[in-house]
Amino acid sequence: MARSFINAALFTGWLTLSFLLLITGNQKERGRKKEESYWAREEKRLHSQAYAAGVSWGGRETKMVWLFSLSAACSLYLITGNLLLFGLGWLLTLILPTLIINNRKRRQRLETLMALTDSLRQLLARLPDQGSLSRAIEMVIESDGRGERTKILRQVLEELRLGSSVREAVVLWQNSIKLKKFDHVAETLIQANKDGWTPAALRALDKSVQSLEADLQAVLLVAQKAASRKRQLYAALLMSWSFPVVLSMLDTGQKNLYLYSLPGKLLIFAYVAVSLYVAVKGQEYLSLNVEEL
């Protein structure tokens, strides 16, 4: 056990020293200044990635994921004594944050599509009586309080109150939503306002909203099927791990094959690496492609 702790300490020290060596260089402008460390650059990269994805992600979350990843690496090593697994656990610091950000992006865009569809349906129900987009939006917001419809529609209302035209406000709304399936509805909404909210214009807008609702139902069905396939994938991975577990319990008259022999350690390392790869790639392939929404 003492040897295991020594190996872990040496390996951790080596990685720490490697990261410290990355703090090099200077800037030519405005005096000499050290470049940021690897961890600082990685934290900024994750923040930029989350910002581009439109999801919230802070430095505290990054540090929590890193702490969990390093704890998992140490736990794997202490349980198995396999130094390869200790090194593999460090890869979680690179994989987990990106995986969480992508999952949040998928969930958030699906929630946005659901809230948007509901908001448009409520808006369409009030337009015939109000005859004004801003007044119809006010009625929807008043009925919703501080719900999702309010979040979706408030920006449009604020732009209209600032003197922007309906076209300008809807285009800005369209750019903030960033959903391809909303583009046709936005164009129809602009045209309906131009036509003066006539019955024909409202019918065209109703058809656009119906098309968006049909797309939402199809998306929800795909997401449901993907979730079922993910469960099957994870069940298959769990079952595959029964082989080394069962074989390690066989009485060979010697020490555990997978914990103390080099071939066994290499096999377990391959199992963990392949399982991690399959889980990440399976999550990517089976998840909803939000870029198509």
Cα 25 to Cα 147: distance, rounded to the nearest angstrom: 50
Predicted confidence at residue 207, as pLDDT, reads 92
Cα 3 to Cα 5: distance, rounded to the nearest angstrom: 5
Predicted confidence at residue 48, as pLDDT, reads 87
Tokens read off for 182 = 């909303």
Tokens read off for 55 = 């999801």
Three-state DSSP class for residue 3 = helix
Cα 239 to Cα 108: distance, rounded to the nearest angstrom: 32
CA atoms within 13 A on the CB side of 49: 18
Q: What is the largest CA-CA distance in the chain?
A: 88
pLDDT in tens, the chain (293 residues): 555 565 656 556 655 655 554 444 444 444 444 556 667 777 888 888 888 877 888 888 888 888 888 777 777 777 777 777 777 767 788 888 888 888 888 888 888 888 888 889 988 989 888 888 899 888 888 887 666 677 788 888 888 888 889 999 999 888 888 888 788 899 999 999 888 888 899 999 999 999 888 888 888 888 888 788 878 877 877 777 776 666 666 555 566 666 666 666 777 777 777 777 777 776 666 565 655 55
Predicted confidence at residue 224, as pLDDT, reads 82
Domain ranges of the chain: 111-213
Predicted confidence at residue 30, as pLDDT, reads 41
DSSP secondary structure letters along 179-234: -GGGHHHHHHHHHHHHTTS-HHHHHHHHHHHHHHHHHHHHHHHHHHHHHHHHHHHH
